[in-house]
């Protein structure tokens, strides 16, 4: 161990006398974050400046909204002032086989048959494909031909896209191609083996908890461990971001400490699957996996918001997106001032408004939302 001095060992699973798996990070390196705050009343911005970046200290972004209706949009860029601009055209979403359409223009090149009876169509069983993207729902591209996706329990996959949409491919990163087994998402119990585990965020969607760890080059699913401290947890390095101790391995995991968009320049720890909000995300994900909606998506589009919304509906999608964003952008959305959220977390602001709208069961909508947001939700 002496040669590792100066490093902090994360997830050091000791099997006495055998082996251990190392994850390390430089312990003392404190993360430095810029601050994000509304423009002070004492500040004068030159015309059309919406973000003034002051580089002194750790950096501060002073934000104000764009008042000239011709230039309503504030493009953010790191370490610079920003000037109000024309709103960019919304990019046209070209749809994959299986997704809803009105005309051929709505469908991407993957949907070689265009829009057929309101659905973008690609290659069906036995027809040719150049990638997974070409095949209609239920099929995947093997040897340039669309064939049935592999069922749960079936062997022969390389990647999730080879399996039915409710299952992923359990395969080690260095395994021989085509030797994986299709396993249902969120189904593998605690301390059972999986063939891989993401080494930065300890996730594997095959695990019931979405959480895993690697010991002696073998990966295992873990229970839904919560954060040690009640979130939001402010941090200066990953070492502040501990989960509770796993009872079997007698070690905690550590989530990432990430800068946010708050006035104090604080960083926050990522959530763990045992945290309440992460649990709500997993519950909603389970609903989706158990719905028939995902059967209507192309194999590569099983978790794409466009396809999910088409078949699972806007309400389900609003709830799912809300929890998804909270879980995966957690440090970003802590302690934002409104003027800052509108520019740096615009997507989350819109997702929250949609969530509140549906939670509110279509009541009070006109008092809750501006006409613009309302219109953007309907389509």
| Half-sphere exposure for 145 (CA within 13 Å, toward CB) | 6
Should residue 143 be labelled a site residue for ligand NAG when binding is judged by CB under 6 A?
Answer: yes
Should residue 177 be labelled a site residue for ligand NAG when binding is judged by CB under 6 A?
Answer: no
Find the binder of ligand NAG among 49, 123, 166, 242 (CB under 6 A).
Answer: 49
- For residue 120, what are its two tokens? 């973008």
Helices (H), 301-369: 305-312, 314-328, 338-344, 346-359, 365-368
- For residue 59, what are its two tokens? 């950096």
How many residues bind ligand NAG (CB under 6 A)? The answer is: 22
- Nearest distance from residue 182's CB to ligand NAG, in Å? 17
β-strand pairing of 35-38 with 60-63: parallel
Instruction: From residue 20, give the alpha-carbon distance in Å to each of 14, 218, 252, 360, 367.
Output: 5, 10, 15, 51, 58
| Beta carbon nearer to ligand NAG, 30 or 70 | 30
| Beta carbon nearer to ligand NAG, 262 or 325 | 262
CA distance 229 to 242: 8
Should residue 30 be labelled a site residue for ligand NAG when binding is judged by CB under 6 A?
Answer: yes
CA distance 378 to 371: 11
Give the contact letters, 280-319, x = binds to ligand NAG (CB under 6 A), - = no.
----------------------------------------
Task: Name the residue with the smallest CB distance to ligand NAG.
Answer: 57
Should residue 57 be labelled a site residue for ligand NAG when binding is judged by CB under 6 A?
Answer: yes
Q: Which stretch binds ligand NAG (CB under 6 A): 46-54, 88-96, 198-206, 208-216?
A: 46-54
Should residue 55 be labelled a site residue for ligand NAG when binding is judged by CB under 6 A?
Answer: no
Measuring CA to CA, which residue among 7, 26, 13, 1 is closest to residue 245?
A: 13
Contact footprint for ligand NAG (CB under 6 A): 30, 32, 45-46, 49, 52, 57-58, 65, 67, 81, 143, 234-237, 239-240, 265, 338-339, 342
């Amino acid at each position: 161990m002496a040669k590792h001095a100066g490093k902090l060992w994360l997830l050091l699973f000791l099997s006495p006398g055998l082996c251990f798996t190392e994850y390390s990070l430089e312990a003392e390196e404190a993360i430095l974050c810029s601050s994000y705050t509304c423009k002070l009343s004492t500040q004068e911005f030159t015309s059309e400046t919406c973000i003034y970046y002051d580089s002194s200290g750790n950096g501060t972004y002073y934000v104000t909204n764009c008042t000239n209706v011709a230039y309503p949009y504030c493009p953010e860029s790191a370490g610079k002032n920003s000037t109000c601009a024309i709103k960019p055209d919304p990019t046209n979403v070209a749809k994959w086989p299986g997704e809803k359409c009105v005309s051929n223009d709505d469908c991407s090149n993957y949907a070689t048959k265009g829009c057929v009876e309101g659905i973008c169509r690609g290659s069906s069983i036995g027809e040719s494909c150049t990638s997974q993207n070409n095949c209609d729902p239920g099929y995947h591209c093997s040897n340039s031909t669309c064939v049935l996706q592999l069922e749960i329990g079936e062997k022969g996959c390389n990647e999730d896209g080879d399996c039915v949409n409710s299952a992923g491919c359990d395969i080690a990163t260095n395994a021989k191609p085509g030797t994986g087994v299709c396993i249902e998402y969120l189904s593998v119990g605690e301390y059972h083996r999986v063939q891989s585990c993401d080494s930065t965020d300890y996730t594997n969607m095959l695990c019931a908890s979405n959480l895993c760890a690697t010991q002696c080059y073998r990966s295992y699913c873990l229970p839904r461990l919560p954060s040690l401290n009640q979130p939001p947890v402010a941090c200066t390095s990953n070492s502040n971001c501990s989960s509770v101790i796993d009872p079997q391995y007698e070690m905690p995991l550590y989530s990432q400490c990430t800068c946010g968009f708050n006035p104090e320049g604080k960083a926050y720890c990522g959530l763990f699957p045992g945290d309440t909000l992460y649990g709500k995300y997993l519950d909603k994900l389970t609903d989706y996996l158990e719905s028939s909606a995902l059967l209507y998506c192309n194999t590569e589009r099983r978790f794409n918001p466009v396809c999910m919304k088409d078949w699972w509906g806007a309400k389900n999608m609003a709830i799912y997106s809300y929890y998804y964003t909270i879980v995966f952008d957690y440090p970003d959305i802590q302690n934002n001032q409104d003027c800052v959220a509108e520019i740096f977390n615009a997507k989350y602001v819109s997702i929250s408004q949609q969530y509140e709208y549906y939670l509110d069961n279509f009541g009070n909508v006109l008092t809750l939302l501006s006409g613009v947001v309302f219109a953007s939700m309907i389509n």
